[in-house]
Structure 1
Amino acid sequence: MKEMTQETEATAAASGQRATERFREQKASAAGTDKERVNRLASRVVKAINDTVLEEKVTYDEYNAFKAWLIKVGEDGEWPLFLDVWVEHSVEQVANEDRHGSKGTIEGPYYVPDAPEQQSPATLPMREDEPGTPLLFQGRVTNLEDQPLAGAKVEIWHADDLGFYSQYAPGLPEWNLRGTVIADADGNFAINTIQPAPYQIPTDGACGQLIAAAGWHAWRPAHLHLKVSAPGHQLITTQLYFQGDPHVGDDIASAVKPELILDPAPRADGNGREVTYDFVLDPE
Structure 2
Amino acid sequence: MTTETPADATAAKSGNAATDSFRNSGKLGSIATSTERVNMLASKLVKAANDIILEERVSYDEFNALKAWLIKVGDDGEWPLFLDVWLEHSVEEVATDHREGNKGSIEGPYYVPEAPSQNTPATISMREDEKGTNLLFQGQVRSTDGSALKNAKIELWHADEEGFYSQFAPGIPEWNLRGTFIADEEGNFQINTMQPAPYQIPTDGACGQLIVAAGWHAWRPAHLHLKVSAEGHELLTAQLYFPGDAHNDDDIATAVKPELMLDVHPAASGNGKQVTYDFVLDPVK
Shared fold, TM over 0.5:
yes
Give the SS at the match of 2:24: helix
Distance 2:17 2:94 in 1: 27
Residue 144 (structure 1) aligned with residue 171 (structure 2): no
User: In the alignment, what sits opposite 2:132?
Assistant: 132
Distance 2:179 2:3 in 1: 25
User: In the alignment, what sits opposite 1:10?
Assistant: 9
* Count of residues in Structure 1 that have an aligned counterpart in Structure 2: 283
User: In the alignment, what sits opposite 2:210?
Assistant: 210
TM superposition shift of 1:9? 0.7
Give the SS at the match of 1:125: coil
Letter in 1 for 2:78: E
Distance 2:239 2:31 in 1: 30
Distance 2:135 2:268 in 1: 12
Residue 91 (structure 1) aligned with residue 128 (structure 2): no
Distance 1:133 1:82 in 2: 30
1:166-245 counterparts in 2 under 5 A? 166-245=166-245
Deviations 1:230-257 (A, max 9, x none): 0100000000000000000000000000
Deviations 1:16-73 (A, max 9, x none): 0111111111113166211000000011111110000000000000000001000000
Give the SS at the match of 1:193: strand
Residue 77 (structure 1) aligned with residue 107 (structure 2): no
TM superposition shift of 1:177? 0.2
Letter in 2 for 1:35: T
Distance 2:274 2:137 in 1: 6
Distance 1:36 1:207 in 2: 32
TM superposition shift of 1:5? 1.0
Give the SS at the match of 1:190: strand
User: In the alignment, what sits opposite 1:106?
Assistant: 106
Distance 1:268 1:19 in 2: 38
Letter in 2 for 1:128: E
Give the SS at the match of 2:193: strand
1:58-73 counterparts in 2 under 5 A? 58-73=58-73
User: In the alignment, what sits opposite 1:52?
Assistant: 52
Distance 1:20 1:145 in 2: 39
C-alpha distance 281-75 of structure 1, shift in aligned 2 (>3 A): same
Distance 2:31 2:265 in 1: 48
Larger mean Cα displacement after TM superposition, 21-30 or 93-102: 21-30
Distance 1:65 1:16 in 2: 21
Distance 1:28 1:19 in 2: 13
User: In the alignment, what sits opposite 2:120?
Assistant: 120
User: In the alignment, what sits opposite 1:262?
Assistant: 262
For structure 1, which runs of at least 5 residues remain unmatched after alignment? Answer: none
TM superposition shift of 1:167? 0.2
TM superposition shift of 1:4? 2.4
Distance 2:268 2:186 in 1: 24
TM superposition shift of 1:268? 2.3
TM superposition shift of 1:119? 0.1
Give the SS at the match of 1:237: strand
TM-score (norm 1): 0.98
Give the SS at the match of 1:275: strand
Distance 1:269 1:184 in 2: 22
TM-score (norm 2): 0.98
Percent sequence identity over matched residues?
A: 69
